[in-house]
C-alpha cells in the first residue's frame, strides 16, 4: 500500500471522540506521521465534532436518518470520504453497522476498536457482559474491518483485570485508557507498511498475527 507523507487519516465518530483525540495527540506529538483530513459523524450533536472543529480539523456530518437504506447511507459516506483520499479510515466509536458498499472500497485500510477481548463479546454492552460472565479479565481489541460485524482479524489487544465490585462504568474507565494507547500503535504499523490484511488474516512484519491479536505491552513499537 502506498501512503502519502504525512499520511491522510479520516476518522468516523458518533460520540465524544476520545479515541479521535488520541489520534489528534499522536499526530501532534509526532507519534504518527499523519494528519487528520476529515472527521465524519452520523450525528450532528456528536461532542467529538466540536472538539475536532475547535482544533481546526475539517468536519462533516451525514445523518443516517436521511437515507432509506444502510446501503444508501454507506454510499454517501464513501462519496464524502473519497474526496479526501484517505490512506487510512479509522472507526472510533462509529455506531452504525456498515455494509459491503462501505467496507469493500476501504478493505485493508479500515480499522475499528472494540471494547472486548474479541472474539468474546462482539456487539454492545461488552463490559457488562464480561462482568456478568465472571470473566477474570476484560479489554479491548483493534481489528481490521471485514464484512463480519466485529469479526475482522484482530491486530492488537490490551487486557485489564476485572476487579471485585467493578461496574460496567468502572471497567470502561480503565479500558479506555488502553484504547487510547493501542489504537495509534496499530495505525502506525499500517502506515509504516508493516501491517496488512491478507486472505489469511492480519500480517505484521511478514508474520501472521495470532487469532486474538498481539498482546499489548507498554512501549511496544
CB of 207 to ligand GRF, least distance (A): 26
Residue of 92, 103, 110, 182 interacting with ligand GRF (CB under 6 A): 92
Residue of 7, 9, 11, 15 interacting with ligand GRF (CB under 6 A): 15
Between 13 and 40, CB nearer to ligand GRF: 13
Residues 154-183 that bind ligand GRF (CB under 6 A): 176, 179
Interaction of residue 150 with ligand GRF, rule CB under 6 A: no
Between 76 and 182, CB nearer to ligand GRF: 182
Residue of 3, 4, 6, 16 interacting with ligand GRF (CB under 6 A): 16
The Cα–Cα gap between 100 and 2 comes to 23
Query: Three cell numbers at 81?
Result: 470520504
| Residue owning grid cell 461496574 | 167
Residues 113-132 that bind ligand GRF (CB under 6 A): 113-115
Q: Residues 64, 114, 125, 180: which is the catalytic one?
A: 114
Instruction: Answer yes or no: 180 catalytic.
Output: no
CB of 155 to ligand GRF, least distance (A): 14
CB of 47 to ligand GRF, least distance (A): 8
Contact stretch for ligand GRF (CB under 6 A) within 13-21, 29-37, 71-79, 98-106: 13-21
| Pairing status of strand 59-61 against strand 34-41 | parallel
| Pairing status of strand 201-204 against strand 207-208 | antiparallel
Exposed/middle/buried for residue 37 (C-beta within 10 Å: 0-12, 13-18, 19+): buried
133: number of CA atoms within 13 Å, CB side?
Answer: 13
Residue of 7, 9, 19, 103 interacting with ligand GRF (CB under 6 A): 19
CB of 202 to ligand GRF, least distance (A): 18
Active site residues: 114
- Interface residues with ligand GRF (CB under 6 A) are 13, 15-19, 48, 92-93, 113-115, 140, 176, 179
Amino acid at each position: 500500500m502506498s501512503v502519502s507523507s504525512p499520511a491522510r487519516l479520516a476518522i468516523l465518530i458518533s460520540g465524544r471522540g476520545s479515541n479521535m483525540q488520541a489520534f489528534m495527540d499522536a499526530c501532534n506529538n509526532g507519534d504518527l506521521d499523519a494528519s487528520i483530513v476529515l472527521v465524519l459523524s452520523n450525528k450532528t450533536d456528536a461532542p467529538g465534532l466540536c472538539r475536532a472543529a475547535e482544533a481546526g480539523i475539517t468536519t462533516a456530518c451525514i445523518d443516517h436518518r436521511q437515507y432509506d437504506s444502510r446501503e444508501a447511507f454507506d454510499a454517501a459516506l464513501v462519496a464524502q470520504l473519497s474526496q479526501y483520499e484517505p490512506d487510512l479510515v479509522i472507526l472510533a466509536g462509529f455506531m452504525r453497522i456498515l455494509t459491503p458498499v462501505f467496507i469493500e472500497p476501504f478493505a485493508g485500510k479500515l480499522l475499528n476498536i472494540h471494547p472486548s477481548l474479541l472474539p468474546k463479546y462482539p456487539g454492545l454492552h461488552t463490559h457488562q457482559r464480561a462482568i456478568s460472565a465472571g470473566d477474570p479479565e476484560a479489554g479491548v481489541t483493534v481489528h481490521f474491518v471485514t464484512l463480519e460485524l466485529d469479526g475482522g482479524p484482530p491486530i492488537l489487544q490490551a487486557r485489564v483485570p476485572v476487579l471485585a465490585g467493578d461496574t460496567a462504568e468502572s471497567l470502561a474507565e480503565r479500558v479506555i485508557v488502553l484504547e487510547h494507547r493501542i489504537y495509534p500503535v496499530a495505525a502506525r504499523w499500517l502506515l509504516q507498511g508493516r501491517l496488512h490484511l491478507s486472505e489469511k488474516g492480519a500480517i505484521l512484519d511478514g508474520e501472521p498475527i495470532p487469532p486474538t491479536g498481539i498482546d499489548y505491552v507498554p512501549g511496544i513499537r
